[in-house]
Amino acid sequence: MKIWKQEFTLEGLDNMSINTLVENFDIKFVAHGDDYLVAEMPVTHKNVQPMRILHGGASVALAETVGSIASLLCLNDPMTEQAVGLDINANHLRSVPEGEKVRAKVTPIHLGRKTHVWHIEITNEANQAICVSRLTMMVRKIRM
């Protein structure tokens, strides 16, 4: 079942991220289906910890990015409503060395009138889970 209420292109999603953390971490949207969205992020000097492996906070930033954009695409009217993060958790399962790429796939758990809950699985190039995350978003009217 198609969950998206907004028309979009992957290029358009990338263009929304100019001059943001998303652009700084080189996150790119690469695929979507009726009920999922996928983004990739290279593991570079921009998002590693001193041991030259992916920083856990960068994984969380990737998870929140795909989940937040997914919520935006599920809004009835993005001119009058917005989705804002309420809670995110992440379990880090495996390290990823600098030079590789990770991929995050977001799928809905709950799409209510006031809240959206998302499951995000981040995998490495071998398609092994490196992080699983749950993101809760609140849908609210835009305050003028």
Catalytic residues: 64
Amino acid (1-letter code) at residue 135: L
Rounded CA-CA distance 109/125 in Å is 25
Rounded CA-CA distance 88/60 in Å is 8
Beta bridge partners of 40: 28, 103
Contact partners, residue 31, CB within 8 Å, separation at least 6: 10, 37, 38
